[in-house]
Structure 1
Amino acid sequence: MSYLQTLSSSISSGASDVEQLKMSGLNVLTRSQGSQWNCTSSKMQQALFSEGPWLFVGMPNVVKVWNTESGAEYSLNGPVGQVNALESINDLLFAGVEVWDHENWQCIMTLNGHDDVVKSLRCWDKYLFFGSLDCTIKVWASTEDGSLEVIYTHSEEHGILALSGMTDLDVKPILYCSCSDKSVHLYELPTFTDRGRLFAKQEVQTLQIGPGGLFFTGDQTGLLTVYSVYMASRLMAETWPRLRVQILIREEQGDVLDSL
């Protein structure tokens, strides 16, 4: 399973779905051409998610679904506004606040709980975390009758832009929460204990976990920042919140700067 959070916003009307994706900077290759994806666009706003042969793209008022093996494609109509958050769990697709069945691609549930746009959602253990511009993270869990309900609400002073997570050196789960005040908050789960903050020059719209204790942030200046949890923990065991930047990549220049 992989999480690709971005796609160009320049989707043109009147063209086929594949042509629209090509126009927006994503070169879609057919099965006969191989299973490669070439993202070249620097304008990245739509939600993009893949699982197995399935590719899901959140767009205004619709979720586009492609099967890269069979060539099948579907349009899930029903969402209102831009779909910013996608996740697939146990043959269910979560698209914003709507839940879709993989088998027949029907909306089977709408989760009402946020007062503003849901920007990100993540699954941890048996829980779903929804981050919204209403300045809350809501934790959902399944009930005995199979429905979902909010079991905990965490409030921030600013809107939630992105969520991600990984374990620290003690194998404790850490939730990364990007807020509209240009910071990324770190919380230890399940208690939401504050583990510090990271700061950026502009809003961090994308959080991605990498291998070997690396995690990545992408902000609105076009800067991709790579952090090393393990090296930071060794060098600054007593000052965990002040993680050091190991590599800075400026997208528009393509240069790599070592920072210690």
Structure 2
Amino acid sequence: MVSEMSKKREFKDDEELEHGKVVKRFNGLPQFNLQRFCYRHNPDVQSSVGSTTCYKQDANRLKSVNDKISQLPKNEREEVHHVVSTFRKSNDKLRKLMLEGILTACCFPQLSYVASEVQNMIRIDFISILPQEISLRILCYLDCQSLCSAAKVCRRWKTMADDDRVWHRMCEQHIDRKCPNCGWGLPRLHMKRARNPTPTRCTELITPWKAIYRDRFKVECNWRKGQCVIQEFKGHMDGVLTLQFSSRLLFTGSYDSTVAIWDLCSGRLIRRLSGHGDGVKTLYFDEQKVITGSLDKAIRVWNYITGECISTYRGHTDSVLSVDSYKKIIVSGSADKTVKVWHVESRTCYSLRGHTEWVNCVKLHPLSFLCFSCSDDTTIRMWDIRTNACRRVFRGHVGQVQKVIPLTIIDIENLVVDDKQTSDPPTDDPHDPLTEDLPYPTHILSCSLDNTIKLWDVKTGNCVRTQFGHVEGVWDIAADNFRIVSGSHDGTVKLWDLQSGKCIHTFQGKSLQEPHDQQAETAPHKVSPIACVGIGDSEFFTGDEMGYVKRYRFDTT
């Protein structure tokens, strides 16, 4: 009756008839049959890993043993068959007793042979035997190199190691942050998915998150090796003072009083903004506008798509050296020794006084309502833009401070600091400005004409690290979560590791000597000072006093 019903019933792919009953088969999880067989003799496990289809033993190995037994004399052959047959028919308890007796009677050569043979036989393919979720969880703990090695073990391991969930976890651990286990961090690269709309046979086999990790890994390797492609932009008649860029546009300001807008895809100059009466020293841009500050004491807001000047802000009594903006707030630093906060909607302006020399740079940290400024008076000041009060002064540079950048460093435990700075006591201030529950920056980075780059602890106000390497003043710095790039009057651009503070690579600027100069071989080699720098996920830019802008790309080699 059961057989007749089974003929009429159509079984699914994961069902089978066993002892007259329909049972469910778990094709992806071969461990379901372990109650009837041990791991080594489980037919489902053995067939899944492709070693044998035998129910009770490895057929190839058994055949080899039988061949050796058949070559023995008849009486010895019968004795061996009797021993093996008795062992097979015995239960687990008796088998252990037999093995104990045999091992006790063995000499060292036999024990050595047993050890070498057993070593290979007791290996377990845990990736195949464990549930898929647990196997994937185990693979998530591997680094990139180990995961790629695991994919070479067998087809099943490759399927598991190439699973999109594993590589998604890898991307989460490494992209835009440093992994605490392996120490590697990968650039963001605008988080573009690496899907090919018309995949080839090879690209079809690559899962999306693995392709994303692969692309970023290549870029990170190029950063570390210093392998890049250099592209030049020349469109200014005088030195380049400032630059900013996005994924498709580059903005440069120059002594020639103009702002040049470049298409990064084609390298063409697509627009030039004219209107300032003197050099454009600083600029800021977002998706809607460009804000420029000039040596003519004015701040201008432009629609960079049309080239129209939307508004002009006048209030400084000397050159505007730096601007920054967030939503409806503009901050500016000037040679008149003041920092001004412009509220666009209310049309009000507040002056922050405290510096005694030119204010070379201002930077907003909007999440904590802080503004940082640095000056020729060798100090850095931290301002609260809600109260317009100076909350802290950072002292330590011995030259004019040219740039300040607020940073939020996540892995502070592995941050390398100077030994003499680690013992400095924290500032015991009952009116500590950082007591509010706000996402304050953990550190600030600064550069100066004293040839150094300094890292400061915002909470204590102490300088925790000083980086030496440039032989002349450092005009500009830029940083991301992994690296610092610095441009100096000595004509070099240096790439530093943010975590360790070590100089990774040094790039030479534009030579001031003409190729046909006959005195070039005997005269000292001179290069144009680097006035400004900018850094992105896969590239950095430099601008020099000869009017050249260089783009160093690490994603094309």
Deviation at residue 161 of structure 1 after TM alignment: 1.1
Matched residue, 1:151: 349
Query: Of 464, 467, 478, which residue of structure 2 is paired with 1:248?
Result: 467
Aligned equivalents of 2:377 and 2:370: distance in 1?
A: 20
The residue that corresponds to 2:359 in the other structure is 160
**CA distance change for structure 1 residues 48 and 154 in 2, over 3 Å: closer, same or farther?**
same
Cα distance in 2 for partners of 1:257, 1:105 equals 41
Change (3 A) 1:193 1:112: closer
Instruction: State how 1:1-260 maps to structure 2 within 5 Å.
Output: 27-28=230-231, 46-60=241-255, 61-73=257-269, 74-96=271-293, 97-143=299-345, 149-156=347-354, 157-166=356-365, 172-199=368-395, 200-212=397-409, 213-229=442-458, 233=459, 240=460, 242-252=461-471
Could you give the per-residue CA deviations for residues 166-215 of structure 1, whole angstroms, max 9, x where no partner exists?
Answer: 37xxx633221112211111122311332221221111111123341342
Residue deviations 1:110-144, cap 9 Å, x none? 21111111111111353111111112222212237
CA displacement 1:33-65 (0-9 Å, x = unmatched): xxxxxxxxxxx9711111331111110111121
Offset from partner CA, 1:194-241 (integer Å, 9 cap, x none): 222122111111112334134211101221112243xxx3xxxxxx3x
CA distance in structure 2 between the partners assigned to 1:29 and 1:82 by the alignment: 21
- Which protein is richer in helix relative to its size? 2
Shift of 1:257: 7.4
How far apart in 1 are the matches of 2:384 and 2:262? 36
Report the Cα distance in structure 1 between the residues aligned to 2:333 and 2:252, rounded to whole angstroms.
19
The C-alpha deviation readout for 1:8-28, integer Å capped at 9, x for no partner, is xxxxxxxxxxxxxxxxxx942
Contact 1:101 1:108 in 2 (8 A): yes
| RMSD (Å) for aligned C-alpha atoms | 3.0
- Seen in structure 2, the aligned counterparts of structure 1 residues 249 and 166 have a Cα distance that, compared at 3 Å, is farther
Change over 3 Å in CA distance of 1:83–1:192 after alignment to 2: same
Matched letter for residue 470 of structure 2: E
CA distance in 1, matches of 2:317, 2:261: 27
Q: Greater strand share, 1 or 2?
A: 1
Unaligned runs of 5+ residues in structure 1 are 1-25, 31-43, 234-239
Distance 1:257 1:53, change over 3 A: closer
Q: Determine if contact 1:164/1:177 at 8 Å carries over to the other structure.
A: yes
Given the two structures, how large is their TM-score scaled by the length of structure 1? Answer: 0.68
Paired letter, 2:345: T
The question of whether the paired residues in 1 share the 8 Å contact of 2:454 and 2:463 is answered with no
Q: Which residue is equivalent to 1:22?
A: none
Kept in 1: contact 2:240–2:252 (CA 8 A): no
Do the aligned partners of residues 257 and 151 (structure 1) sit closer, same or farther apart at CA in structure 2, a change above 3 Å counting?
A: closer
- Please report how far the alpha carbon of residue 81 of structure 1 lies from its aligned counterpart in structure 2 after TM superposition: 2.0
Letter in 2 for 1:197: V
3-state DSSP of counterpart to 1:56: strand
Please state how far the C-alpha of 1:247 moved relative to its aligned partner: 4.4
Q: Which residue of 2 aligns with 1:18?
A: none
Counterpart residue type for residue 247 of structure 2? G
Question: For the residues of structure 2 that align with 1:75 and 1:125, how far apart are their CA atoms?
Answer: 25
- TM-score scaled by length of structure 2: 0.33
- Identify if the C-alpha distance between structure 1 residues 52 and 27 changes in structure 2 by more than 3 Å, giving closer, same or farther: same
- 2:333 is paired with a residue of what secondary structure? strand
Contact 1:225–1:249 (CA<8 Å) still a contact in 2? no
1:151, CA displacement in angstroms? 2.9
Q: Structure 1 stretches (4+) deviating beyond 3 angstroms?
A: 252-258
SS at match of 2:262: strand
Counterpart of 1:12 in structure 2 is none
Contact 1:224/1:251 (<8 A) preserved: no
Q: Is the 8 Å Cα contact of residues 120 and 163 (structure 1) preserved in structure 2? A: yes
Distance 2:391 2:240 in 1: 29
